[in-house]
Chain A
Amino acid sequence: MAGLADGADGRDMTTQSLTAQRRAAWRSYRDQLAKSTARTLSRRRFVSQMMIGLTFLAALIAVLPLTLIVFHLLRQGLSSVNLDFFTHMPKPTGDVGGGMANAIVGTGMLVLIASVLGLPVGIFAGLYLAEQRGARLATVVRFLSDVLNGLPSIVLGIFAWGLLVRPFRHFSALAGGMALAAMMIPLVTRTTEEMIRLVPVSMREAALALGYTKWRTSLSIVLRTAMPGIVTGALLAVARIAGETAPLIFTAFGNSFWSVSPTQPIAALPMQIYFYATAPYDDWHAQAWAGALVLLGLVLVISVAARFATRSRAGLGSD
C-alpha cells in the first residue's frame, strides 16, 4: 500500500487540505480494508498480534547483550576489585594482585586536561548557537559540529599525534587530552545549546528591560540559569571520553609508572584494559575484567546520575 504519506508536508491532516493524490491513496486503502471477509480479518488480526510480539522480542534481544556484559563483568571482575586495585601499581605477570592506581589517576588527569581545553569552547559555542538560532553561520556550525561528532575517535587520535606528538618527538598526556577534547567539544556544544533553549524568554526579556546589555544578559542571566543543565551535559561528555581508548594509544601512549606530568606519557584505565585483555596471561585477564568493571561502574554512575538530573530539570524548564 503505497502513497499514504506521499507529498505529506508534516502538518497534521486535520489542519490542511489533502492533496488529491494522497486523498486517492487513502480512498483505495479504505476500499481495500473494507473488502476483508471474516476469514481474512481474523488472519489480519493474527498477523498484527504476531508482529507486535516480534517487536517485543526485538526489545528483549536488544536488552540481552547489556545483561550478559554486566553479568560477565560482575562474575569475572568482582573478585579482583578491592582496595589494592585502587591504591597499588600494576604488577608483572606471575605476581598475583597489584592494582591500577596509576591508570585510574591517569584517566583522571586526561579527563581534566580534556575538560580544561574542551569545556569552555563547547559551552560558549553552544551559547552562540542558541542565541543566534536563525543565523546562517549558526546553522553551518551546528551542522559541522554534528559532523565532528561523527568522526571516528581514531582519526582524532592521529590528528593529535600529528599536531602534538610528531613535532615534539615524544608522547604526552597533553596530546591525549587534546584528542579527547576534540571529541568533547561537539557533545558539549549540542547539550549546552539545548539547555539554553530551555531558559524562558521572559527571563531574557526581563533582563533586557532592566537595561542589561545583550551579552551581559547572555552571560549572567541565560548562562547562569542554564548552568545546572550545562553541568549535566558536561558530565555526560566526561562519561563518554573517560572510556575512550582509540585516540590515546599513540598520544598518551600509556605508562607503567606513576606519572601526572602533562608532558610525559600517561597511563589510562581503558588503555590498560586493552593491553591486559589482548595479552595471553590469565592473571592479566582477571585484572582486565576488574578494570572494565571499575570503568563501566564509573561511566554508568556518571551518565545515569546526569540523566536523572536532566530529566527533572527538563521538567522544570518547560513550565
Chain B
Amino acid sequence: MGFALVIPTLLLLIGVEVFRAGWPAFKAFGLTFFTSSAWDPVNGNFGAAPAVYGTIVSSILALIIATPLAVGVAIFLSEFAPNWIRQPIAFFVDLLAAIPSVVYGLWGVLVLVPFIRAHVMPFVKDTLHLGDFPLFSGAAYGPSMFAAGCILAIMILPYISAVTREVLRAVPRSQREAALALGATRWEMIWDAVLPYARSGILGGVILGLGRAIGETMAVTMVIGNRHELSASLFQPGYTMASLIANEFAEATNDLHVSSLMAVGAGLFIVTVIVNVIARWLVWRTARTGAT
C-alpha cells in the first residue's frame, strides 16, 4: 500500500520546494522580509509586510462576520429547525462551499464592490459620520479590505457551519435533557449545557475557516484592489499573501522577484499547516470524546 505514502511525500516535497525556491529572498532580506513594506521589483527590494497585514486583517474581518452567522445556522439546523426546512437550508449552505472561487470573485467585482461603493461606504461616511475614524477613512474606491472580508465571510461560512453541526451532533442527549428537565428554556439549554460542551470543537471549526480564509486566492485578488500599502482603513485597497502571488507570479521579472513570491508562498505554507494542525486537533478531540 505504498500509495498511502504518496501523501506525506507530497506534503514534504511541497514544503521543500517552496522553501528552497524562497531561500534566496530569505537570505537577501532575512526576517525583515516580513516586516518591510518595500516592494520594488526594479531595484530588487522586497518586503511582504502589507501582504501579511492584509491577510491577517481580511481573515479576521471574515471570521468576525462569518462566525456568529455560521454558529447560528448550525444551532438552528441541528436544534430548532423542523425537518422540512432543515434539509433545504442545509443543502443550500453546503452548496455555498461548492461554488468556485472565481465565480465568487466575478460576483464580488461586478456586483458586491459596486454595491459597497454606492451604498455601504456613503452610508458609513455620510450618514453615520464615521469618515474621519481611521478604520473608515480615505477615498471610497470600492475594491477594498472590507470587500475582501465580506466575500471571504461568505466563502468560509459553510465550513464553519458544517463543523459546528457535526460537533453539536456529538453532544450527548442527556446533556440537553438534563437542562430541560431542570426547567431551562430551549435557548438556556443550548447556551448553558450544549455550547460549553461543544466549545473547543466549534473553535476548531472557526480555525479551519481561518485556514480557508488565509489561503483563499482568486476571489480576494479580484476584490481587494491589489495595492502595496499599509493602511488602517478597511475601505482602502490592500493585498494578501495569496493574492500577491496570484497577481505577480506570472509576470515576475527577475529571479529575486520570483524568489520573494516563493518566500511569501513558504510563509503561507507554514501558517496554513500550523492553523490546520491546531484546528484538526481541536475537532478530533471533541468528536472523539463525544462519539456516542
Measuring CB to CB, which residues of chain A are less than 8 angstroms from any residue of chain B?
Answer: 1-6, 8-14, 26, 29-30, 33-34, 36, 44-45, 47-49, 51-52, 54-59, 61-63, 65-66, 68-69, 72-73, 76, 120-121, 123-125, 127-129, 131-132, 137-138, 140-141, 143-148, 150-159, 161-163, 182, 185-186, 189, 239-240, 242-246, 249-250, 253, 270-271, 273-274, 277-278, 285, 288-289, 292, 295-296, 299-300, 303-304, 307
Residue of A10, A62, A68 most packed against chain B (CB within 10 A): A62
Q: What is the total number of residues of chain B having a CB less than 8 Å from a CB of chain A?
A: 101
Q: Are B216 and A152 in contact (CB under 8 A)?
A: yes
Residues of B within 8 A of A33 (CB): 182-184, 188
Nearest 6 A/B pairs, CB to CB: A152-B215, A243-B100, A58-B72, A10-B289, A124-B3, A150-B276
Q: Which of B98, B249, B275 touches A239 (beta carbons < 8 Å)?
A: B98
Q: Are B98 and A299 in contact (CB under 8 A)?
A: yes
Q: How far is the CA of A271 from the CA of B105 in the complex (A)?
A: 12
Sample of 8 A–B contacts (CB below 8 Å): A69-B103, A146-B280, A158-B245, A243-B99, A244-B100, A250-B250, A300-B95, A304-B95
Q: Which of B7, B214, B273 touches A185 (beta carbons < 8 Å)?
A: B7
Residues of A within 8 A of B106 (CB): 273, 277, 288-289, 292
B260 to chain A, nearest CB (A): 12
Q: Does B101 interact with chain A (Cβ within 8 Å)? A: yes
Q: Does B179 interact with chain A (Cβ within 8 Å)? A: yes
Q: Are B187 and A47 in contact (CB under 8 A)?
A: yes
1/0 contact trace for B38-68 toward A, CB 8 Å?
0000000000000000000000000000001
Q: Which of B116-124, B128-136, B261-269 contacts A (4 or more CB under 8 A)?
A: B261-269
Q: Do most interface residues of chain A lie in helix, strand or loop, or is the interface mixed?
A: helix
Q: Are B182 and A277 in contact (CB under 8 A)?
A: no
1/0 contact trace for B62-103 toward A, CB 8 Å?
000000111111011101110000000100111110111111
Q: Does B11 interact with chain A (Cβ within 8 Å)? A: yes
Q: Does B10 interact with chain A (Cβ within 8 Å)? A: yes
Q: Does B291 interact with chain A (Cβ within 8 Å)? A: yes
Q: Which of B75, B94, B107 touches A69 (beta carbons < 8 Å)?
A: B107
On whether A273 and B102 interact (CB within 8 A), knowing A30-B182, A48-B187, the answer reads yes
Q: Do most interface residues of chain B lie in helix, strand or loop, or is the interface mixed?
A: helix
B13 to chain A, nearest CB (A): 7
Q: Are B105 and A274 in contact (CB under 8 A)?
A: yes
Q: Does B4 interact with chain A (Cβ within 8 Å)? A: yes
Q: Does B277 interact with chain A (Cβ within 8 Å)? A: yes
Q: How far is the CA of A303 from the CA of B91 in the complex (A)?
A: 11
Q: How far is the CA of A219 from the CA of B135 in the complex (A)?
A: 60
Residues of B within 8 A of A13 (CB): 172, 174-175, 178
Q: Does B139 interact with chain A (Cβ within 8 Å)? A: no
Q: Name B248's closest neighbour in chain A (CB-CB).
A: A250
Q: How far is the CA of A153 from the CA of B79 in the complex (A)?
A: 35
Q: Name A27's closest neighbour in chain B (CB-CB).
A: B182
Q: Are B103 and A243 in contact (CB under 8 A)?
A: yes
Q: How far is the CA of A213 from the CA of B192 in the complex (A)?
A: 54
Q: Are B99 and A138 in contact (CB under 8 A)?
A: no
Q: Are B110 and A277 in contact (CB under 8 A)?
A: yes
Q: Are A124 and B288 in contact (CB under 8 A)?
A: no
Residues of A within 8 A of B193 (CB): 4-5
Q: How far is the CA of A270 from the CA of B76 in the complex (A)?
A: 34
B274 to chain A, nearest CB (A): 10
Q: Are A152 and B214 in contact (CB under 8 A)?
A: yes
Residues of B within 8 A of A52 (CB): 76, 80, 186-187
On whether A299 and B99 interact (CB within 8 A), knowing A10-B288, A58-B69, the answer reads yes
Q: Are A245 and B272 in contact (CB under 8 A)?
A: no
